[in-house]
Amino acid sequence: MRMSEEMADYVAGLAMLELDGEERREMAGELEKILDYMAALDSLDTAHAPPPGPVLPLKNVLRPDEPAPSLPREELLACASARDGEYFLTPRAVE
C-alpha cells in the first residue's frame, strides 16, 4: 500500500491533526510499513468467518428510565480552559 505524503495529509485532516513537512514524510513512511504488514490479512480466507459479535451474548441491555441528578454544572465547567458564565467558550463556529 503506497502512502503518499498527500494521502497522509488528507488522513490527518480527517483526524483533526496537522502534520508539518518532516513529520508528514516520516509518518507516511511509517504508515506504509505498518499497512504493508497488515496486508498479510489478505491471505486469510474469511469466506466462512463467523459473524463478528460481542464476547458474551448480551442482547437489548436496557436500564430503567429513572431521572437522576446530573453532575453539577460548575464542576464540569471547571474542566474547561475557557468559559463564559454558564457556557463553554469557543471561537465562532458559524459564519
Partner 1 sequence: MEFYNLTALELAAALKKGEVSVAQAVQAARARMEARREDNAFLTPLSPAPESIDLDASPLAGVPMAYKDNICTRGVPTTCASRMLEGFVPPYDAAAAEHLTAAGAVCMGKLNMDEFAMGSTSETSCRGPVRNPWDPQRSAGGSSGGAAAAVAGGQVWYAIGSDTGGSIRQPAAHCGVTGMKPTYGAVSRYGLVAYASSLDQIGPIARSAADCAAVLDILRGRDRRDSTSVELPGGPLLDALTGRVKGLSIALPEQYLEDGLEGGVAAAVREAADTFRALGARVETVSLPALDWAVSAYYILACAQASSNLARFDGVTCGRRAPEGRDLAQLCAASRTQGFGREVKRRLLLGTFVLSHGYYDAYYKKALQAAALIKDGLNRTLEEYDLILSPVAPTAAPRLGESLSSPLEMYLSDLYTVPANLAGLPAVSFPCGLDGEGMPVGVQLMGRALEDAAVLNAAHAFQLATPWHKMHPEGGKRP
Residues of this chain that interact with partner 1 (CB under 8 A) are 8, 11-12, 14-18, 27, 30-31, 33-35, 37-38, 40-42, 44, 46, 49-56, 58, 61, 63, 71-72, 75-76, 78-82, 88, 90-93
Q: Which residue stretches of 1-95 are H helix?
A: 5-14, 21-38, 73-77
Q: How far is the CB of 86 from partner 1 (least distance, A)?
A: 14
User: How many Cβ atoms sit within 10 Å of the Cβ of residue 8?
Assistant: 21
Cβ at position 91, least distance to partner 1 in Å:
5
Query: Minimum distance from CB of 45 to partner 1 (Å)?
Result: 9
> Residue 6 or residue 18: which is nearer to partner 1 going by CB?
18
What are the φ/ψ torsions at residue 54 (nearest 5 degrees)?
A: -70, 165
Cα dist from 10 to 5, 14, 17, 86, whole Å: 9, 7, 10, 36
